[in-house]
Amino acid sequence: MKAGIVGASGYLGAELLRLLAVHPDLEVTTIQANSSAGESLSSLYPGLTGGYGRSEVSSFDLSALIACDVVFIAVPSGASQQIVPQLVGKVPLVVDLGADFRLRDPRLYEKWYGFVHQEPELLAKSVYGLVEQNRDALKGASFIAAPGCYVTAASIVLAPAVQQGLIHPEGIIIDAASGTSGAGKEPLASTHHSLVNENFVAYGVTTHRHTPEIEQATGSKVLFTPHLLPITRGILATIYVKPTERLTTESVLTFYREVYEGEPFIEVTDGLPATRETYGSNNVRIGARYDDRTGTLILLSALDNLTKGGAGQALQAANVALGLDETAGLPKVALLP
């Protein structure tokens, strides 16, 4: 099958290329990015040379995309709504890694993203791409909206607990920290090495755009505070919730092991998950502690924001939609040390 990538020169695009280079069923036939058109992929990302030689990045080419079986779109928020309408219905599968088609209520885009949605009728046509929660709906899908990275880290632990009545759906506090690659490839003053190095800072307090997506995906009301870590890749989410009954740490871990039994990329640990344990893999590591003194359940999850939080997630959903092996092209072992 033929695959195309729009926005291939960004970090998510590069991660897609890394994963697709070893995919047994998908061959990348067009690599597109207007900002890097005419450059060789090996000059942009020398580490991809082994998979793509001196393949050239092209500008947006609709005809090349329509010839594909699947197109991945990895462009900034607000940009994919200009591209998706040209592809949906013409390409068997379109996978958008951006936020433009994740939220069901178009009014939320103006509040949280600062733009008026131009294609609200397409919101209902997208299938949310969190496989562990939406696998059946993804089978045979033609248009997928891949979830946000923070949303994945939160939803993997929150959604089943809310749905099965283990926790109260309100008063949830999420503290999550991400590496600098989550901000994308474009240089920002806030992600400059001299500011990030030896520093730890909260941002987007009460205003982060992933908040409504977390609430939509989990059916809960959350107070979400993201933080910037002085690392390249990874997210660690620490989530504080009130259970509906008295629990033990062991009973909570048993709950998650039962919920995610057989899931290829979910690992429930007796210990406390760490970002390094998921580095470069498509895994999510889950941990939990119940504090009997305060009656608080603490849920923890760790993932690689570029893989399971982005490109790997999109590829996993595409595999399901296309009827391929769900794990194809996706690493299950983290980079060590």
Q: Which of 114, 226, 224 is nearest to 177 (CA)?
A: 226
- Catalytic residue, chosen from 149, 196, 297, 317, is 149
Give me 49's structure tokens: 């040379």
Q: What is the dihedral of CA 278, 235, 105, 135, to 10 degrees?
A: 10
Give me 9's structure tokens: 């020169």
**Rounded Cα gap, residues 53 and 55, in angstroms:** 6
Q: Give the three-state DSSP class for 324.
A: coil
**Rounded Cα gap, residues 277 and 291, in angstroms:** 25
68 is catalytic: no
In our burial notation (b when 16+ CB lie closer than 10 A, e otherwise), range 265-302 reads bbbbbeeebbbbbbbbbbbbbbbbebeeeeeebbbbbb
Give me 145's structure tokens: 């909206």
| 70 residue type, one letter | V
Judge whether 321 and 26 are in contact, CB under 8 Å: no
Q: Is 89 exposed, middle or buried (0-12, 13-18, 19+ CB in 10 A)?
A: exposed
Looking at the annotation, which residues are catalytic? 149
